[in-house]
Structure 1
């Protein structure tokens, strides 16, 4: 399987494609690619039995697609955890090197890395890490952008996207922050939120708010 196909399976999984339909637009935005490229790749993944595609409804993983995605995500996120916690990589810069390492690592080494790290359940941007048996807790798939004015939520995880993580490092929104949604600006404008612990008011861009998961 090519690295590009693997990237699709991972992002479909991360967007909730194990249990719900994911749109072409969500995949395109998350991978920073053209929507036409998504259409062609999805056709290939359907032919290989890795995803289901319902026109005008969306894309979801097959049982085989879920199994492959879980293994890829375990490898990728264990390396991300190692690079951030042991080698002090900035979170927004860790993805590319983790991508290289996940493809060059034996199952035996992954098991030893998992043990060395203390069997982490979440990576540095909040994503779940399946254990070697494929067990893991459920992710939240509710996004900040869909929360109504007045909602009080906790930041649970971020999509693994370099531009998003760099943006969030700038606004200093962190995992575990308890926030209240103040208002949605019209015409896909920013979302104004209040961080409860500090009282800080900040604006989160419309696009970014749809790749910040809350609970």
Structure 2
């Protein structure tokens, strides 16, 4: 769906930088050809700009559309987890349906009811009604260096990813140390600092997890 591409470009930092087709394909688990086809359509609708060999970014129109979609989706995710006791991994499909049925008035009422949350359960920002949101990191776990210490900031909004990370036991705000990157697109070996739990995060998942540096 067009909306999935707009949201993922926003998630990957497409307001402030250029995003590659490969990053989008990895995040959405789609073929490169599908990305190329959809990006052409989004360019025609003036939602994105595509500069060959540079990448893809959201236009002002695309930014407005993205923040509206993300805001409504994540308000519902927060409601489902905080008020209806859903598991974090289970909210994405429900929120995907609800976001398209949500008027601006309902979104404002829901925001007020929830106490104006800044982040959803998986760490993603929730834009306010004017489209403003907190600064976020766009550094992927996959890009962190061996022996680097980082904090898990957020996970991409993907149902399979959230199920995988729940089973793995990795959480938002975990402080971890990157041990090594296994070769040939193998997993990233990490250790959580609080309990010294070792984990192997898949290559694909590591491109859908965003981190902040904690050791300078």
Scaled to the shorter chain, the TM-score interval is over 0.9
CA distance in 1, matches of 2:26, 2:178: 23
Shift of the alpha carbon at 1:29?
A: 2.4
Q: Which residue of 1 aligns with 2:96?
A: 99
Aligned pair 1:141/2:157, yes or no? no
Shift of the alpha carbon at 1:200?
A: 1.2
The structure 2 residue matched to 1:210, chosen from 184, 207, 214, is 207
Aligned pair 1:7/2:12, yes or no? no
Aligned pair 1:131/2:123, yes or no? no
SS in 2 for 1:87: coil
User: Once superposed, which parts of structure 1, at least 4 consecutive aligned residues long, lie more than 4 Å away?
Assistant: none
CA distance in 1, matches of 2:6, 2:207: 19
Shift of the alpha carbon at 1:21?
A: 1.2
SS in 2 for 1:65: helix
CA distance in 1, matches of 2:8, 2:65: 12
Within 5 Å, give how 1:103-114 maps onto structure 2.
103-114=100-111
Q: Which residue of 1 aligns with 2:20?
A: 23
Q: Which residue of 2 aligns with 1:170?
A: 167
Shift of the alpha carbon at 1:33?
A: 2.2
CA distance in 2, matches of 1:92, 1:32: 17
Q: Which residue of 2 aligns with 1:156?
A: 153
- Count the aligned residue pairs: 212
CA distance in 1, matches of 2:87, 2:32: 29
Scaled by the length of structure 1, the TM-score of the pair is 0.95
Instruction: Show structure 1 runs of 5+ residues with no match.
Output: none
Q: Which residue of 2 aligns with 1:75?
A: 72
